[in-house]
Amino acid sequence: MLVLPAELTHAQAAPCLNMLLKAARAEPGDSVLVDATALTRFDSSALAVLLECRRECLLDGKKSFAVRGLTPRLRELAGLYGISDLLPDRS
């Protein structure tokens, strides 16, 4: 399981994405689950990181990508951007 940090804003986006992609490629199996329960401070960059991670995982042959523990505020933001379906919740 991949884990998001407590803070994910524009300043942390690139290093966080690199860390997630490295961890995702090391994940056995064909599914990736990201734990977002620690995430408390974020901006829309968090969604960009999750979407890019999802895209790369699918390109690498993973069959599914899901997130658990998205805060209601981030879930609402994903809804406003119309991308909720791309980040299924596996709470």
Q: What is the pLDDT of residues 79-89, one digit of tens each?
A: 999 999 999 98
Confirm if 3 and 38 have CB atoms less than 8 A apart: yes
Q: Among residues 46, 41, 43, 45, which one has the least CA distance to residue 67?
A: 46
The whole domain housing 29 covers 2-86
In a domain, 77, yes or no: yes
In a domain, 75, yes or no: yes
β-bridge pairing 31-35 and 64-68? parallel
d(CA 87, CA 47): 9
Residues comprising the chain, all counted: 91
Q: What is the pLDDT of residues 47-90, one digit of tens each?
A: 999 999 999 999 999 999 999 999 999 999 999 999 999 999 88
In a domain, 91, yes or no: no
Q: Find the CATH number of the domain harbouring 38.
A: 3.30.750.24
Q: How many domains does the chain have?
A: 1
Report pTM.
Answer: 0.94
In a domain, 60, yes or no: yes
What is the maximum alpha-carbon separation in the chain? 33
